[in-house]
Structures are given as C-alpha cells and as structure tokens.
Amino acid sequence: MSFSVHRRSTSASNMHVLTFLRQTEPETQEISRAAEVFQTTLQVLKNRARQRYKREVTTSELSECLIPLQSITCPQDDDDKYRTITGLCNNRQNPLWGAANTPFVRWLPAEYEDEEREPKGWNPGRLYNGFQLPLVRQVSQEILRSCSKPSDDAFSQMLVEWGQYINHDITFTAQSPGTAMRMSGVDCLNTCENVHPCFPIKCGEQDCLPFTRSAPACFVNCTSDVRQALQRQQMNIITSFIDASLVYGSTPKQQASLRDLSSDEGKLAVNERLKDPKGRDYLPFVASLPSPCRQDPNDVDGERVECFAAGDTRVNEGLPLTVLHTLFFREHNRIAGELKRINCHWSSETVYQEARKIIGALHQIITMRDYMPKILDQESFDHYIGPYEGYDETVDPSASNVFATAAFRFGHPTISPILMRLDEKFQEHKCFPHLRLHQTLFSQWRIVKEGGIEPILRGMIGVAARTVSPDMLVTEEVAQKLVVLNIPREMDLGSLNLQRGRDHGLPGYNDWRVFCGLSPIKTLDHLKSIVKDTSVAEKILKIYKHLDNIDVWFGGIIESFNPNSRIGPLFSCLMGKQMKALRDGDRFWWEAENVFTQQQKAELSKTSLSRIICDNTDIKEVHPDAFRFEKYPSGYLCCDDIPSINLEAWREEKH
Ligand code: HEM
Ligand SMILES: [Ca+2]
C-alpha cells in the first residue's frame, strides 16, 4: 500500500498522520494493544489509590513490584570475588538471572483458564478436550496408591534425602502472603470455594483440603516476552544457583542473623543453649516465637526445643533434612577454623567468604558428580548435561517452573514411611527405635534428646532407599498424615503436587513430552508401553478420559524408569536441562576459570559426603560413597581411609 502525506493545516489531521505513521506490523499492534490494556489497568488502580490516600501514588509504590532495574549496580571486578548473597549480578548482563525473589522461568507458556491467572480446574464446568479434569484427590487416592515400581537396593536412603536437601538450594516457591487473604477477606483454611488466593482441593460434595495459591511474581525478568509478562508467574524466593544458599540464606538480613559476628573467625552462629552428647554444635534456635516445632510429649517440664535456624526456613520439615543442615553448618565452622589457622592474617570476612565458597563447591560436586549420575542414566546424562565446557553467559540459570513444580518432585513417591535409627554397629538402635514418618516432621527435640544426629544419619547411610512397595506409590504416611507447616488438617502430598501444577497453569504431560522431543501418548497401547503396567494404564485413561489431559507431575512419575536410573524419559529431559543450566550459567561454578586455582580444584575433587560425615560427627566407619547401599560392614571403610581436602592449598602469603 502506498500513501502520500498531504500538508494540511488542521491539528486533527496531523494527529491522524502521526498515528498512521506509527502503525507497524500486525504483531506489534497486538502487543501494543495488550500493553495498553495493562497500562489502563494500572491507571485505574492508581486513580483509586489516589482517591484513597489523597495524594499521587507511583506505580512502584502501588505494588512495590517494579524493581527499577537500573538501580541494581553490580560490583566491579575487584569486589566481585565472591557470590552475592541474593545471587544478583552473577550474570553481569542480566543481573537478575538466578537471583532470589525473581520469577521462575517458563520453558512453555502457562495455560490459565482465563489466559492470565485462573488455575486449571478453577471453573467447574470447564472442559479440556471435551472432559473435565479429574479431581486431584481422585488421581492421588485412586491411582497413585496403586502403582508399582521396580525396586532395587543399590542405593541408600541418603539418595532420597539429598534430593530434598539440594532442592532446597535451588527452589522455594513463594506462597500467597497473608495480605492477599486479607485483601480478599477469605481464610484459605476454612473455605471450599475457589476465591483468590484459595484453591481448595475438593474431596467430595462438601469436603475439601485447604490449599493456598503460590504468590504471583513481579513484572521483572521477562521483558522480552509480553505474554509471559502479562500472565501470572510464580516466584522463587531463593537463589537457584547451587551455592549453599540453604546454609547461608538468600537475603543480607538472613545472612547476618546466621553469622557469628562477635568473633573474628568467620564462623556461623551456634546454639548457645545446647551441645550434642560429644560437645559438638547444634544449629541455633530461631529467635521468633511461637515456633511450629513440637515438644517431647513425655517431658512436659523439660527444656523446650525450638525450631532450628538455617539459611532455608524448611530446615525443620523432617529429621534427615535437619541432619544434613547440621552437617554442613558444622563443616563451615570446621573449614573456617582451619583457614584461620593457616592464614592468621585473614579478616573474619575473608575467612567467612572463603569457607562459604568452599561449602558451595562441595554442594556442587556432591550433586553433579555423585548424585545426578544415579538419578539419570549415563546416556541421558551425556545427552542433556555432558562434560563441562566453561561458563556460558548466554545461559539463564534461573529455575524453571516445571522443574520446581513437577520434575524435581519426582522424589516424593520415594519418601520412606519409616525412619530407621541405628547404633554404632548399624543395627536398629535399642534406645531409639524406628519412627513413622509423621513422627519425624517438625520434631527437632528428637535430635537433641535422642542421641544427636548420629542415630538418624546412620539410618540414612545404612538403610536401602525405600524400595517402593507395589501397593503404595506415595506412601500412606504422606498421603494421609502430612502436617504442612501451620496447616492443621492432614494433608496429601500427591494432591498438593497436582494442585500446585494446576495453580501454576503448567501445560499437560503430552505438551512437555513434545517439548522434550518425545512422542506424545495418543493411544492406550502407547500408554501401556510407557507405564509398563496394563491395569494402571487402563485406570489412568478411565480417570483422565483423555490422554492430553494428564497432569505433568503425574505423567512424569508413572513413566517406567530408564535403565539404571530413578526417573523416566520426560523427567530425565527436564532434570537434565535444568541441571545443565545451573552449571553452565553459573559464573562461580567451581570448575569455571579463575574461581579456584588448579591446586585447589584438585583438593576439592577429593571431597565426599562420607568424608564430611567423618569430619563432623561421631561416626567412625562409612561407605566411601554415602549414596550406595551395602549391608554393614561390607564395603565400609574406617574414616582414616577416606580421602580429605588439604586446605594448605588455600595458604596465602601475607602481603
Ligand atoms: C519427608 C520427605 C518430604 C516431605 C515431607 C516433603 C514435603 C513437601 C511439601 C509439603 C512441599 C510443598 C508442596 C506444595 O504445597 O506444593 C514440597 C515441595 C517440594 N518437594 Fe518435597 N518433601 C519431601 C521430600 C522431597 C524429596 C525427596 C524431593 C526430591 C527428590 C522433594 C522435592 C520437592 C520439590 C522440588 C518441591 C517444590 C519446592 C518449591 O519450589 O517450593 N521433596 N515437599
Ligand atoms: Ca541456591
């Protein structure tokens, strides 16, 4: 089309020409229209706020949302030796990548019922491929509990526990805060209605379990994708990097509260009230009360045991988790002590940062070298992760929504219903017998009053990973008795995972298969070949009615495992992709250039979880690979024979 601009004198026609000249491609028009809607909405809100507060209110004040990007100044080369606590500025071009309190990235766009924010299953009459989505509770109760998986006892319980522990270094989804509830005037614990932020799990006609939606994330980090920007995104409140943020925290305030700032040794603060039976340190108690942690019911007059404080607030969720936190907190202080001895001239800050840097590296090595190859088969590992080839600043290391909400939850069906506690000979402890899982949640007093961390830790390395029993995929204990933080009613972890996926609008299982280059499941026979259990496949089709409607977490866990791995093809892809991004997109990855010296790297390679156990507990014999299971004493070595890091490689001459 051609047109000519006639000079006319009226301002109206000038206006017309200007608008005309600004018209561009249809795509751009669409985007502009969308932005217009967004802007108009903001304007309406601002006007309301102005009326209410009787003054001008800025957009950022209005929502406290729009962090001005230009206000982030990254440290210059000299001050850039260590990671920031928030993860900001790891990538100098994209300082928000991987940082705490930024949105999960989407590998596929969300599918909300109203395009923007309503979860899947929000509107009762809504059909997907001609059918309503099944109730998550029905999927959880009728199928999850009747699937079977091949069992093997090559690995120890530690393999399961490390999964949860290291996940707490990578993702923590923000929940809708109390203010959201106050704004809408509803209490999500006591409603069966879908009212933001409540999205209760329906159990029958009248009954439901409480569920609060994840908090929406602010409009940052997604400037290039307007659809994403306008859709509700969820927020990761911790650094996605494997950087031991669960030891040190993800905010300056949290970090400061965990440090021992009174001494010059660069240590973490220890529990002032209690020591373990051999005089070793416990994590400090949290200062703020009341705490959700339980007390010994048989010792009502005894000393109160509060919740422990660590870099991640979920530390008290279960005993094995608390044990791993305790281990690395002690390891920090042990390393800090050594470093100070070797380099007396180092300031407290230098000792702290150098110890923190080493602890971060240990988390990376144990995860990538020892843990991941047991979760992924060799072929998938090579395909999705491959050898390290240096820092790649074009890789976004942020955690993806599907990883946090589905893939890394592959571990939930492997949770053991029983926690074994073992004595020095790795036999069931006479004084401290095994516990049912629900007795171990928020029960820190059992560490303090029942023999320290050792009996539990021996159970983690000396007992085979739960061999999933054929009739219970998600163990009865978490299907019925899960106490979730302050939610008083019994909870069902399978339902929570499914509801969370729908809350986040995750696309279905088949969409993700296509994303990963796998063929979508279109027939019952195909499904049977994937699940390798005819009756389960039939049940799935009966409940879901359409194969494209299968929820992604559910589809991922019912796939039969790849040979020599703990997950099927879909989760191998999603886990592999994420792990690669966490490694290649991390400027401070332990193998990256100029992070450690060659000599230091050689020393770090000698690390093992077993050595860390030897150095920080009373355990004197270990299997060299803490994730492998062999029945004691076969394969066990005396701690003296387990290699350790020589910190002399960190010696620095005083300038
Ligand atoms: C006793 C053991 C465990 C308990 C009691 C537990 C419990 C929970 C609970 C209550 C949630 C929040 C669910 C929601 O509302 O969406 C959760 C989230 C999660 N869990 Fe577990 N879990 C355990 C072990 C594991 C293991 C072994 C893994 C992985 C190998 C794992 C991976 C995850 C992941 C990835 C999330 C999402 C985290 C986030 O981004 O917020 N969990 N778990
Ligand atoms: Ca982290």
Residue 240 forms part of a structural domain: no
Output the residue whose Cα is nearest ligand 1's atom 26.
164
Question: Binding site, residues?
Answer: 412
Q: Is 168 a catalytic residue?
A: yes
Complex ipTM: 0.99
Instruction: Tell me the two tokens of residue 447.
Output: 């560490």
Output the CA torsion sign for 489, 120, 169, 79: negative
* Residue 134 maps to a domain: yes
Q: Are residues 111 and 33 in the same domain?
A: no
Atom of ligand 1 nearest to the CA of 236: 40
Tell me: pLDDT of 499 over 90.
yes
Please indicate, yes or no, whether residues 41 and 107 belong to a single structural domain of this protein.
no
Whichever domain contains 548, its CATH number is: 1.10.640.10
Q: What is the pLDDT of residues 89-144, one digit of tens each?
A: 999 999 999 999 999 999 999 999 999 999 999 999 999 999 999 999 999 888 87
pLDDT band at 66 (very low <50, low <70, confident <90, very high): low
Task: Tell me, yes or no, whether 446 lies in a domain.
Answer: no
What pLDDT, in 10s, does the model give residues 383-442?
A: 999 999 999 999 999 999 999 999 999 999 888 888 999 999 999 999 999 988 888 888
Domain count, the chain: 2
Q: Which one is catalytic: 6, 168, 345, 363?
A: 168
Residue 125 belongs to a domain:
yes
> Does any domain span residue 251?
no
Which residue's C-alpha comes closest to atom 18 of ligand 1? 409
- 484/492 Cα distance (integer angstroms): 9
pLDDT surpasses 80 at 29: no
Q: Is residue 484 part of a domain?
A: yes
Known binding residues for heme b are 412
Largest CA distance in the chain: 98
Ligand 1, atom nearest to 491 Cα: 10
Same domain, 150 and 35: no
Decide which of 558, 581, 611 is a domain's last residue.
Answer: 558
Please, what is the angle between helix 319-342 and helix 454-462, to 10°?
110
* In the predicted structure, residue 28 carries a pLDDT above the cut 90: no
Å from CA of 649 to ligand 2 middle: 26
Q: Using 50, 70 and 90 to split pLDDT, how confident is the model at 26?
A: very low
Tell me, yes or no, whether 143 lies in a domain.
yes
Of 481 and 614, the structure prediction assigns the larger pLDDT to 614
User: How confident is the model over 537-554, as a mean pLDDT?
Assistant: 96
Q: Hey, what long-range contacts does 509-512 have (CB within 8 A, 24 or more apart)? A: 509/550, 509/551, 509/552, 509/554, 509/555, 509/556, 509/570, 510/547, 510/548, 510/550, 510/555, 511/108, 511/548, 511/552, 512/108, 512/402, 512/406, 512/552, 512/555, 512/556, 512/570, 512/574
Q: Which domain holds residue 172?
A: 98-235+473-558
Which of 269-278, 428-437, 645-654 is the least confident region? 428-437
Residue 171: CB within 6 Å of ligand 1? yes
Q: Which atom in ligand 1 lies closest to the alpha carbon of residue 171? A: 40
pLDDT at 484: 45
Q: Which of 22, 48, 64 is the last residue of a domain?
A: 64
User: Domain check: are 110 and 231 in the same one?
Assistant: yes
Residues 45, 102: one domain? Answer: no
Q: Between helices 158-170 and 454-462, what is the axis angle to 10°?
A: 110
Residues 200 and 118 in one domain: yes
**Of the given ranges (147-161, 281-295, 442-456, 461-475), which has the lowest mean pLDDT?**
461-475
Do 34 and 115 reside in the same domain of the chain?
no
Using the 3D structure, point to which of 19, 44, 64 is the last residue of a domain. Answer: 64
Residue 402 maps to a domain: no
pLDDT in tens, 231-263: 899 999 999 999 999 999 999 999 999 999 998
Same domain for 39 and 154, yes or no, is no
Query: 385 or 40: which carries more pLDDT confidence?
Result: 385
Burial (CB count within 10 angstroms: exposed 0-12, middle 13-18, buried 19+), residue 397: buried
Tell me whether strands 435-436 and 418-419 are parallel, antiparallel or unpaired: antiparallel
- Closest ligand to residue 246's CA: 2
Across the chain, what does the average pLDDT equal? 86
Judged by average pLDDT, the poorest of 138-152, 265-279, 354-368, 496-510 is 138-152
